[in-house]
Amino acid sequence: MSGKMAIVIGVILLGFGLAAQESALARYLGFQREAVAAERRGEYEPALKNYLKMLEMIPHKPEANYSAARVLALMGNSSEALKLLEKALSLGLLLPSGLDKSFESLKALPGYQRIQALIEESKKPAGPNRVAFTVPEKDLLPEGIAYDPGEKCFYIGSMWKSKILKIGRAGAIREFAREKQDGLRSVAGMKVDAERRILWLASFVAQPWGKVAPDEIGWTAIFKYDLRTGKLIKKYESDNREAGHLFNDLTLTHSGDVFITDSTRGEIWAILHEADALEFFFRSDEFMYTNGITTGSDDQTLYVASPGNGIFRIAIPSKECRLVSHPAEMTLSAVDGLYYHENSLIAIQPRYDRVARFYLDKKGFAVERLEIIEAHNPIFDFPTTGCIAGGTFYYIANSQAYRINRDGTLFPAEDLKDVVILGCSLEPEKTG
């Protein structure tokens, strides 16, 4: 999850009273609060000061560039406003409601044609738009998807209905786990351990995905299912609900170790196959909400999406952690699902309405090139996660995760659509 989840995470952090004043997330949110409050009061200089502090932390953040540009325009600094506005749009910022009226003064500038071109470009679909299959269950609100090469079938988890579907090779759909079976709640990240015939998944309780009782807040767990029998093997629950854990996504090594993102805590947890127990693995104050996670080619490396500020690379044996660097003209922010494939990272960025492929250098420390797999597809409605099957990337195109009313009820059926899974080949195109 990402996008609107950034707002939710701020509320959760405050609600659980996390001592995170020194964390990157706390600092960034602090600058943001000060900037927004000052701008609302019409105090543009302090607003700009705080927006620039945000940009100092994350120069490639499209939203921060846009906010700073807006204040500069209001202050009459049109040339600098134009530069930051162009950067925000070039990085992938979407404007569903159009440009803010504060930018009217920029229209007379020679460089404004570039702004218009970027806005038009952001509306154009890009990618093959190949529908792999659909699930005719409009109120599913799927978050996780996994592929089993053994049976050549998919598993899809539901946040709204707290259940798991199995889609066979012929397209037949059945329930693998019924609603709230075995204590399931909103189902998030899922992975298949094909060798050991296990389905791993993360589950949690959080608003707005269903009515939440006060005594349920903070509950989260990892489930381990036997693919042969469909029965639950084991459930690994957090033993400290008051701490506010939220297990979101997970990845597997070839030896059977499981690594899990704990989003609200900004942590990584693990279930090592020899110990078969949930244990804390790693935390960094530089994490700004942990979400998607994947292993590298050698099983010694983790790549972790920190939607606030990018993607981190963690060496598993030493726990050395560093941000993956990248050229200034691209952003690794707002990543939800994250997957490693042939020295590249496949990243779903729902806030920017796209699926991107970031090609790494030989050491895996830096991004060298960006390829847009799919963008601005009319089918998109908060794309979330995916899975790789052979040389094809399959992903949930329309989770409809936020089609929820203020009172916690789901949108009416006529405003929802069947779930669409898109597929895109990751193999290089043949020419000649």
DSSP string, 38-69: HHHTT-HHHHHHHHHHHHHH-TT-HHHHHHHH
8 A C-beta contact, residue 16 and residue 243 = yes
Question: Which pLDDT does position 18 carry in this prediction?
Answer: 41
Cα 82 from chain centroid (whole Å)? 29
Structure tokens at 7: 């707002």
Sign of torsion over alpha carbons 340, 373, 146, 143:
positive
Question: Which pLDDT does position 427 carry in this prediction?
Answer: 85
Domain boundaries, the chain: 5-121, 131-425
The two counts, helices (H) then strands (E), for the chain are 6, 24
Residue 102, CA distances (Å) to 49, 81, 116, 148 in order? 18, 10, 15, 51
User: What's 5-121's CATH class?
Assistant: mainly alpha
CATH number of 131-425: 2.130.10.10
8 A C-beta contact, residue 374 and residue 381 = no
Cα 237 from chain centroid (whole Å)? 23
Question: Which pLDDT does position 8 carry in this prediction?
Answer: 43
Q: How far apart are CA 3 and CA 264, in angstroms?
A: 15
Question: Which pLDDT does position 67 carry in this prediction?
Answer: 98
Question: Which pLDDT does position 429 carry in this prediction?
Answer: 65
**Token pair 């997957």 in the structure block, residue:** 339
Q: Phi and psi of 29, rounded to 5°? A: -65, -35
Amino acid at 348: I
Residues in the chain, pLDDT under 50: 2-21, 431-432
Question: Which pLDDT does position 10 carry in this prediction?
Answer: 43
Q: Find the DSSP H helices in 58-154.
A: 62-74, 78-90, 112-121
Structure tokens at 106: 């920029």
Give residue-wise pLDDT tens across range 95-128: 988 999 999 999 999 999 999 999 999 989 999 8
Structure tokens at 128: 């093959």
